[in-house]
Structure formats: C-alpha cells, structure tokens
Chains A and B, each alone.
Chain A
Amino acid sequence: MTWEDDVQSDDAPSTTAKHGNDGDLKRFSRAVTINRDHGELYRFWRDFSNLPAVMDNIISITVLDDNISEWVAKGPGGSAVKWRSIVTEDIEDALIAWRSDDDADVFNEGRITFVPAQGDRGTVVTVVMAYDPPAGFVGRVIAKILQREPEVQLRRDMRRFKQLMETGEIATNVRNPAQLAEEGK
C-alpha cells in the first residue's frame, strides 16, 4: 500500500477521495486532536500492551519483542481473530507503522502519526488503516451488524484514546461496575 497521495490535485487526504478507494484493500483514516504532548502520546501507543484499554474489540495484545506482537480480536459470532503484527517503521515521538504477518486471518496494516497541533491544541493524531475485508462483502455486512466494522471501531477507539490521555479515564454511562462487566468492558 502506498501511504502518499498518488494522483491528486488538492490537499485533501487520499482516504477522503471520492473515487479510487475501491481496490481489494479497504482503506480508511481518522484524525483526532489530543490536548497532550506528542511524545507522551507516542510512548503510550508504542507500548502495545496499553492498547486493549482503549480498543474495545481487542481481547489481548502480547508483546513478543520490540517489533512483534500478537493480537487477538473479537470476531463475528463470538469467534476470535488472531494475527501477529510487525512494526515496519518507527520514528520516535512521530510515527509508527505496522502490518500483519502473512498468516493473519485478516490481512491488515496501519500507520499512526503524532504531529504537534497548531496553536496550543496539543497533538494531531492520525491513523490510516487498510484491511482485507473478511469474506468480501458479506463479511463486512456481518461485521457491520455486530458493530465491529473496523471504521466504526477506529473512530470509537480514537475517542477512547483521547479520553484516557486527556482525563485519565474512559467515559461511561453505566451506573455501577456490574453493568460495566455486563457490557464486556
């Protein structure tokens, strides 16, 4: 996958193009401004074992070495989707890129960038991801019904990431811990 915009006449990110995002790989992105220093945000993310706290559909992440980690996600119908993720690029305080290894159930790759925001607004965090939709169209419909459509998941995960970094906790409307457990969180 190429991250850079190939044939574009404007400054809009390529993931917002009206045409040309319909190859085999589904690409999407989400940007969020977080009122924290880029180094702090980078360090949180670079320790992948932190991520299940903000990623609702990730059951566990086991860090095997500096660049390889094992991810287990909730799949359709109570199944689990597993893959190994390999860091492909790493620029301290600025960028992390990764891709699943070749045995992954669902091929996926992604990149997160941390760029100081204008004014005193903290850091613009942008995630660009691509994945191979499971079983094509039908798989995506199933995922959508289960609300595990990766795009929906990404935008919610990024909100939780922002909440945790800015407020130290993740907002919830439950009345008590028992209800939280019931929701599987």
Chain B
Amino acid sequence: MRALAWHGKHDVRVDTVDDPEIVNPRDAIIKVTSTAICGSDLHLYDGYIPSMKAGDVLGHEFMGEVVDVGPGSNLQKGQRVVVPFTISCGSCFHCGKKQYSACDNGNPADNQDIAEKAYGHPMAGLFGYSHMTGGYSGGQAEYVRVPFSDVGPLVIPDGIDDDKVLFLSDILPTGWMAAENCDIEPGDTVAIWGCGPVGLFAIQSAFLLGAERVIAIDHFPKRLELAAKFGAEIVNFEESKTYEALMEMTGGIGPDAVIDAVGLEAHGFFADNVIDQIKVSTFMGTDRTHAIRQAIIACRKGGRVSMPAVYGGFVDKFPLGALMEKGLTLKTGQTHVQRYLKPLLAAIMEDKIDTTFLISHRMPLEKAPEGYKMFHDEQDQATKIVLKPEMFEARAG
C-alpha cells in the first residue's frame, strides 16, 4: 500500500510499504477514506519528539471502511468508522476509569520501557506517534491495522459526510476535554492561547459548557477571524500586549480559566522564547513554552489552568511559584478520546458543534508531503488539511 513515512526532520515521503493484515483476535483492518494532518504531527515534522525511526508511518486522525476483522472484533465489514488516536484495551484499571490515554495495555511490552524511564510510567499506544507510544503504523495510509477494534472505533451512521465526523478522532474531543478541564462556572471568562484546530474547538466547547466570555489569542488574522466567528473576543499578540490586554478586559481579575492550545513550538519574539530556542538548537533543553508561562501568569488567583498542548521533555523557567502562590489547578493529558465519542457525535448531529468550517484544503494522499509543508509554513491560510487516499491528483485542491 501507499503510506506517508517519516524520514527525518522536514523529510516525509509517500512510500510503498507492506499491507496490514489481522494479527491479533481483536484487530480490524480499515481502508482509510479521510485522514488529517495535526498540529501534533508538526512536532514530529520539526523533529521535537524523540524515539522516531526512519520509515515510521504517520497519522493519528483517520476514518474509513472496515475491510477485515479478527474473531474478537465486533465490527462488520463495510461499516464506516472513526478511529480514536489512543489505542486502549477497554479492560485495564485505567480504561475502567475512562482514562483511556493512560491504558496499561495498548502499548507493546518492549516499547513501554521508553516512557517508563522518561516519565515513570508508560502511557497508552497512539497511532503514528513515535516508538515511545507504541511504534504503531499510522493512518496517513491506504490501510491501517486497528488493535482493540471492539472498544475503540465509532460506527458512523450512513448519510453523514466524512468531513463532518473525521475530527472525532482527535482534535474535537481534545478541544472539548480542554474546556472540561477548566471546570467552568457561570460568569467565567476563559482565555485560550492558540487558535489552531484545538483552540478553535476549545472555544466552541467552552461556550457549550457555560463560559460567559472566551478570549482567544493568536497572531494569524485568518485563525483569529474564525475564533471571532464563534463568539470569542480576540487578541493578536503581535499587535497588543497579551497580559495587559487580558487584565484590562477582565477588570483586573484575570481570566478564571486559561487554556494552552499552543504547545512546545510557541511562536513569537519574546525573550524567554528566544532563549528556549537557542537552548533547543544547542541540545540544552527541549520545549519552547512561552504560552504556558504567560497563561499561568495571567490566570486569576485560585483559577484553573488547562493544558491540552503537547510537551515532550523538560522546560526551563516554569513559573512554579506563581502556580503555588496563586493556588492554581493544572489539568492536562493526552485526550481520553473514547470517553467523548458518543456525546460529541450527538452534538454534531444536533448542529451544536460546527466541524467542517475548519477544513481549508483537501488533497490526495500522494500530495501529503506538500500538505505537511503547507500546514507548517502557511498556518494562516492552512487551518486544517485533510488527505483523501481515494482522491485522484487531477481533482486535488
């Protein structure tokens, strides 16, 4: 089959690789009809995530048709399914608590060593996201082997377009969980750093969960425009001073809850960011963390900090004092996707959440390397890129 493989920093290629087949009883094979490029993929593209190997097939946001099932799967050939990016067994202690991204069993035994060493505990397997999270072949491919297919994939009723439900695989639940982690109370203002796909879904989710106001921060006009369309007040950090603006806009209180939807590649010419960048390039540190620092400093006393953004390693100058002295609560984690699939599908069907607005580009799988470059270099225009393995080159665009 054809699949998008990682070969190094800023080097991804569409290769011909072995087809997947059923290996374990609970497996299913999915023929991919739509798959998206995620902000998390950019962290791989930029070489920030350790334990990648040349040839690894990327992609963790995908859906398609069931073409083969093992004897332990409850799916049927021909069904259309959206697949969660977290590979979770459904029967361990953590799955029982619906902490799916902490599943004990989704990650192969040998791969678990890496995270046990780095983080103290291994986490769930993830599709197409380094060997630390399992080394699984991802969804930016014609076919995918999906383990634990009896508890992960969500069957999509006929007549609903791929584009409407594809983001159930990751970024919609991620935006939702980010807002849920804000423990929103009536009258609250939520400030969100980053108006990428995750930030934009967090805006919609925060309003649905009862926020009175949402303030969104970014520097790309097109993305800020989308944020405003969903009712957020916007701050362009290149034109305004973020902390000062937030204080004035909230009458000196500060936002009741803050969300970091930026992650380890924060943009901007801020002193801390520049120092972080120098350290990264000289291997003295890993993560660029301007957004989370600023969010903690701006958050009101006794407020809540929600961090869906991905970090991999260590950070410098983390404002631990502010976190402690102001009595803040910090919640984070890879999304427990399986927990949110059914309620969010219902919200989409009832038109409570808009998903298709996000897609700026659709292209064939063969054009994936161009898609990565575009999503990386032209973030203002490219809000979300969906790859369609069955689309012909001629119809691209």
Contacts and interface: CB of A to CB of B under 8 A. Distances in A.
B148 A167 contact: yes
Contacts, number: 86
Interface stretch (B103-111, B197-205, B342-350): B103-111
Contact of B109 (A163, A176, A178, A180): A163
B176 interface: no
Nearest to B104: A162
Interface in A128-185: 152, 155-157, 159-160, 162-163, 166-180
Interface string B119-137: 0000001000000001111
Contact of B112 (A35, A56, A159, A168): A159
Contact of B18 (A35, A163, A175): A175
B26 interface: yes
Contacts of B137: 173, 175
B109 A170 contact: yes
B110 A176 contact: no
Contacts of B47: none
Contacts of A152: 113
B106 to A, nearest CB: 6
Interface stretch (B87-95, B361-369, B386-394): B87-95
A33 interface: yes
A141 B278 CA distance: 38
Nearest to A179: B18
A176 B19 contact: yes
Contacts of B18: 175-176, 178-179
A43 interface: no
Contacts of A179: 18
A56 B89 CA distance: 21
Given A152-B113, A166-B105, A175 B24 contact: no
B313 interface: no
Given A156-B110, A166-B105, A175 B72 contact: no
B108 A175 contact: no
B92 A171 contact: no
B111 A173 contact: yes
A163 B95 CA distance: 13
Interface residues of A, number: 28
Contacts of B113: 152, 155-156
Given A162-B104, A175-B137, A167 B23 contact: no
B147 interface: yes
B333 interface: no
Contacts of A163: 89, 105, 109
B134 A173 contact: yes
Contacts of A170: 24, 109
A157 B108 CA distance: 11
Contacts of A35: 91-93, 96
> Taking each of A156, A168, A174, which has the highest tally of chain B beta carbons within 10 Å of its own beta carbon?
A174
B25 interface: yes
B73 to A, nearest CB: 11
Contacts of A56: 109
Contacts of A172: 23-24, 108
Contacts of B87: 171
Contacts of B60: none
A166 B87 CA distance: 15
Contacts of B110: 156
A167 B26 contact: yes
Given A177-B21, A179-B18, A171 B91 contact: no
A176 B21 contact: yes
B93 A176 contact: no
B89 A159 contact: no
Nearest to A54: B109
B20 interface: yes
A160 B109 CA distance: 6
Contact of B72 (A122, A169, A178): A169
B125 A173 contact: yes
A56 B90 CA distance: 24
Nearest to A176: B21
A90 to B, nearest CB: 27
B145 interface: yes
B25 A168 contact: yes
B91 A167 contact: yes
A157 B113 CA distance: 12
A156 B109 CA distance: 5
Interface of A: 33, 35, 56, 121-122, 152, 155-157, 159-160, 162-163, 166-180
6 contacts: A56-B109, A163-B109, A171-B24, A171-B107, A171-B147, A172-B108
Given A169-B24, A173-B135, 15 more contacts: A35-B92, A156-B109, A156-B110, A157-B109, A166-B89, A166-B104, A169-B26, A170-B109, A171-B134, A172-B108, A173-B136, A175-B17, A175-B23, A175-B137, A176-B23
